[in-house]
């Protein structure tokens, strides 16, 4: 268990720990947790575009491009504080992600698997809380470079 300062929190083995301020109890804070698994789920849709949104605080993914999606264009999104990833791409989906900010997510900022084709252009994938990206399978290109192994 890491040493926490007051009002700092961490997630360890699926549990959330918060260090309260001296003299306060957890019920002194307006603590919340999400009741929703994903912020946006795209499933078997064509010619889809999602622009300029902040998607945060969901149990699994902020945006989940699930299966049979494409072509899909995600641009100007900020995806942060989600349990698994800011954006998850799975199944047989084709997506272009451009000018997005992904950070403070649980397992990776971008999660790619299945038979996907994922193209990331001019994005900030912060590796501040988890790796910038995780590729189980599928094709992942970041700024034109094919990514072969998970980071």
pLDDT on residue 35: 67
Token readout for 19 is 């260090």
- Say what the pLDDT of residue 34 is: 63
Please state the domain count of the chain. 2
Are residues 23 and 78 located together in one domain of the fold? no
Q: In this structure, are residues 98 and 75 in contact, taking their beta carbons and an 8 Å threshold?
A: yes
Written as one string, the DSSP assignment of 76-137 is S-EEES-SSEEEEE-SS-EEEEES-EEES-SS-SEEE-SS-EEEEES-EE--SSS-SEEESS
| pLDDT for residue 129 | 93
Q: Which domain holds residue 123?
A: 34-147
CB atoms within 10 A of CB 3: 7
Instruction: Return the higher-pLDDT residue of 148 and 40.
Output: 40
Please report where in the chains the tokens 């199944």 appear, as a residue.
Answer: 91
The 10s digit of each residue's pLDDT in 94-140 is 999 999 999 999 999 999 999 999 999 999 999 999 999 999 999 99
126 and 62 within one domain:
yes
| pTM reported for the whole predicted model | 0.79
**Do 23 and 54 fall within a single domain?**
no
Question: How far apart, in whole angstroms, are the C-alpha atoms of residue 3 and residue 1?
Answer: 7
Residues 53 and 114 in one domain: yes
């Amino acid at each position: 268990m890491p040493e926490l300062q007051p009002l700092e929190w961490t997630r360890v083995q699926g549990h959330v720990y918060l260090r309260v301020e001296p003299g306060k109890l957890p019920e002194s804070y307006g603590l919340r947790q999400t009741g929703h698994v994903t912020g946006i789920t795209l499933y078997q849709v064509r010619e889809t575009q999602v622009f300029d949104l902040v998607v945060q605080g969901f149990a699994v993914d902020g945006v989940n491009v699930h299966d049979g999606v494409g072509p899909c264009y995600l641009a100007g999104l900020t995806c942060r504080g989600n349990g698994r990833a800011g954006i998850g791409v799975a199944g047989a989906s084709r997506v272009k992600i451009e000018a997005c900010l992904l950070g403070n997510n649980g397992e990776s900022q971008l999660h790619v698997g299945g038979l996907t084709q994922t193209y990331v252009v001019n994005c900030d994938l912060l590796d501040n809380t988890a790796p910038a990206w995780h590729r189980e399978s599928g094709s992942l290109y970041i700024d034109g470079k094919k990514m072969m192994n998970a980071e």
